[in-house]
């Protein structure tokens, strides 16, 4: 009798566990369906965010290209404005916005969290002075005094990425001003050491404003730090720590925040820069002004301002420029003329730069064609290669970068986009 009772109990337990197992599987399946739906919705929102940033960056680049281009033209057309403080600040602000747009877009699309820094020759003191000048409005309106010191031992010309450097320092400076009212902000650029052709330079910023707590230091680069206070500051909240550190690493730099508890705050950027090598300046001058017949360039863009700026840049280098505002006319011109270089806008009505290049490549595979585009390049890489374009430059572009690329393909006609 006991065996039957024990067997019945075990059978009942088995049935209970079996039903519980079925119930659990059903619940897990329902949760899995909900999680999958949530994942798909999140992924959809992520891609929508990427698309939005891409579209916004393109819309921002177009007017910014005009501003930067016109500022450069003003400086070239009116040499007396070359040292004008306001024009220098305008050019610096344009360069800063350009770098900011590119890097935010870059990080938005690349999971590798890498930013590729440019290695160009620039005047460090001039770049830093322009940055300091751009903060004159901020200091005047907050009743702060900005003290600036530049170590005379630092070489005038160095190699690096002045756009990324400016972006980092802009955020360090804005944080100092955020915590300072009726006080002092000290900005010093100092040579720490020099070995071989490498200069280690410190960009240190400290201030005597409100005391910064340990918690605030940890979040000093966060997007939303003390929202109540930032509403009355000049530059708002700056970019977050993730982007700042990625930018610092891209130029072989390090952000340092000393551990101290006294009133005020101090933080620094330490970077290794290569000094100018003797042959760089000669190389940057290019070979556009060759002896004999001038080099011929075809510029294709549906925006008149873009055509004007590119024409002015190349004409100064003694190029014989032809400008055209559509792809169909460009094709006919290439059939009838020999060009040393073609600058091709991508986003044009009727026939875009990709389609125009494909048709040109049907009868001319030798002329170098460089894409000039405000479109996010991560969406176009494959199309650019397939169309037969040799390379690309994102608008708004740096004049020296454009000329460097043009000379590279003119001097090496066999080069192809890899």
Q: Supply the pLDDT for residue 387.
A: 83
Across 11-28, b (16+ Cβ under 10 Å) vs e yields eeeeeeeeeeeeeeeeee
Q: Supply the pLDDT for residue 55.
A: 63
From 337, 338, 356, select the one nearest 348 (Cα to Cα). 356
Strand partners, 161: none
User: 280-286, long-range: CB within 8 Å, 24+ apart, which pairs?
Assistant: 280/121, 280/159, 281/121, 281/157, 284/121, 284/400, 284/404, 286/317, 286/403, 286/404, 286/406, 286/407
Q: Supply the pLDDT for residue 133.
A: 76
In which residue ranges of the chain is pLDDT below 70? 1, 46-47, 49-59, 61-63, 65-66, 96, 98-116, 136-138, 140-142, 209-243, 258-264, 276-292, 375-382, 396, 398, 413-418
pTM score over 0.75: no
Cα 295 to Cα 150, 335, 370, 400: the distances in Å are: 42, 17, 16, 17
Q: Supply the pLDDT for residue 331.
A: 96
């Amino acid at each position: 009798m006991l065996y039957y009772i024990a067997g019945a109990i075990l059978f009942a337990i088995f049935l209970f566990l079996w039903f519980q197992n079925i119930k659990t599987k059903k619940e897990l399946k329902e949760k899995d369906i909900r999680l999958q739906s949530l994942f798909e919705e999140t992924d959809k929102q992520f891609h929508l965010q990427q698309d939005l940033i891409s579209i916004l960056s393109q819309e921002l680049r177009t007017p910014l290209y005009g501003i930067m281009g016109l500022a450069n033209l003003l400086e070239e057309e009116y040499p007396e404005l070359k040292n004008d403080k306001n024009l220098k600040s305008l050019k610096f602000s344009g360069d800063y916005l350009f770098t900011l747009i590119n890097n935010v877009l870059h990080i938005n699309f690349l999971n590798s969290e890498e930013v590729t820094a440019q290695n160009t020759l620039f005047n460090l003191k001039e770049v830093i002075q322009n940055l300091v000048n751009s903060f004159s409005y901020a200091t005047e309106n907050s009743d702060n005094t900005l003290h600036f010191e530049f170590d005379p031992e630092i070489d005038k010309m160095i190699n690096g990425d002045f756009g990324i450097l400016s972006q980092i320092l802009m955020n360090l400076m804005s944080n100092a001003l955020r915590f300072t009212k009726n006080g002092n902000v000290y900005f010093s650029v100092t040579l720490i050491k020099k070995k071989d052709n490498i200069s280690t330079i410190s960009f240190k910023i400290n201030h005597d404003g409100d005391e910064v707590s340990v918690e605030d230091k940890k979040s000093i680069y966060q997007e939303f730090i003390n929202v109540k206070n930032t509403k009355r500051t000049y530059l708002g909240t700056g970019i977050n720590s993730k982007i700042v550190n990625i930018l610092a690493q891209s130029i072989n730099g390090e952000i340092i925040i000393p551990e101290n508890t006294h009133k005020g705050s101090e933080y620094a950027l330490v970077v290794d820069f290569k000094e100018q090598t003797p042959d760089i300046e000669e190389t940057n001058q290019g070979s556009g002004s060759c002896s004999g017949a001038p080099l011929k360039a075809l510029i294709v863009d549906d925006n008149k301002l873009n055509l004007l700026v590119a024409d002015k840049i190349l004409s100064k280098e003694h190029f014989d420029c032809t400008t055209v505002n559509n792809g169909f006319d460009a094709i006919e011109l290439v059939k009838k003329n020999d060009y040393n270089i073609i600058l091709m806008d991508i986003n044009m009505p009727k026939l875009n730069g990709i389609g125009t290049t494909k048709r040109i490549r049907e009868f001319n595979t030798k002329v170098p064609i460089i894409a000039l585009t405000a479109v996010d390049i991560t969406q176009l890489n494959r199309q650019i290669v397939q169309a037969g374009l040799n390379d690309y430059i994102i608008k708004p572009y740096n004049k020296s970068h454009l000329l460097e690329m043009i000379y590279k393909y003119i001097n090496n006609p066999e080069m192809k986009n890899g």
